[in-house]
């Protein structure tokens, strides 16, 4: 039984984002409440690594299935899709560092994708 990389990539990518939306990687810490009524929370590293891993592996599998013009376009696509997924996970979970990581990953990925889209770009 042969599994198509594109279908598996889409399932992993959307599964990682949906898991982050329905089960954010943030846990309430030991029922501690601050005087303002807001509870203390901490990051659950297992779910954060699981969600980010699913998004990154899914974007790589999607890129392997598609035929790009050159390696710049392929690497740029992986950077954009991975960065966008990480930014969605970090933004929804209110984890600023993960959100900024996603933005920092997507920005050079978009530049590489645009450079790779040119006809005379090497690679």
Mapping DSSP to helix (H, G, I), strand (E, B) and coil, where does residue 15 land? helix
- Report the pLDDT value the prediction gives residue 122, as an integer from 0 to 100: 55
Q: Average model confidence (pLDDT) for the chain?
A: 86
Cα separation, 18 vs 51, whole angstroms: 9
- Report the pLDDT value the prediction gives residue 34, as an integer from 0 to 100: 66
15 touches 74 (CB < 8 A): no
Write down the domain spans for the chain: 5-116
Task: Calculate mean pLDDT across residues 38-44.
Answer: 75
More confident residue, 41 or 72: 72
Q: pTM score, two decimals?
A: 0.83
Cα separation, 56 vs 54, whole angstroms: 6
pLDDT at 120 over 60: no
- Report the pLDDT value the prediction gives residue 28, as an integer from 0 to 100: 67
- Report the pLDDT value the prediction gives residue 43, as an integer from 0 to 100: 86
Model confidence at 16, pLDDT cuts 50, 70, 90, reads very high
More confident residue, 104 or 72: 104
User: Please, what is the end-to-end C-alpha distance for the chain in angstroms?
Assistant: 34
Q: What letters, b where the CB count within 10 A reaches 16 and e where it falls short, cover 39-60?
A: eeeebbeebbebbbebbbbbbb
3-state DSSP percent of the chain in helix, strand and coil, to 5: 65, 10, 20
- Report the pLDDT value the prediction gives residue 123, as an integer from 0 to 100: 52
């Amino acid at each position: 039984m042969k599994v198509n990389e594109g279908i598996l990539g889409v399932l992993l990518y959307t599964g990682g984002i949906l898991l982050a939306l329905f089960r954010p990687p943030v846990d309430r810490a030991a029922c501690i409440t601050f005087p303002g009524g807001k509870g203390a929370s901490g990051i659950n590293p297992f779910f954060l690594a699981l969600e980010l891993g699913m998004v990154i592996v899914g974007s790589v599998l999607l890129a392997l299935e598609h035929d790009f013009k050159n390696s710049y376009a392929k690497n740029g696509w992986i950077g954009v899709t991975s960065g966008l997924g990480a930014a969605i996970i970090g933004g929804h979970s209110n984890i600023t560092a993960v959100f900024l990581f996603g933005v920092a990953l997507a920005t050079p990925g978009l530049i590489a994708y645009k450079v790779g889209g040119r006809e005379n770009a090497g690679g």
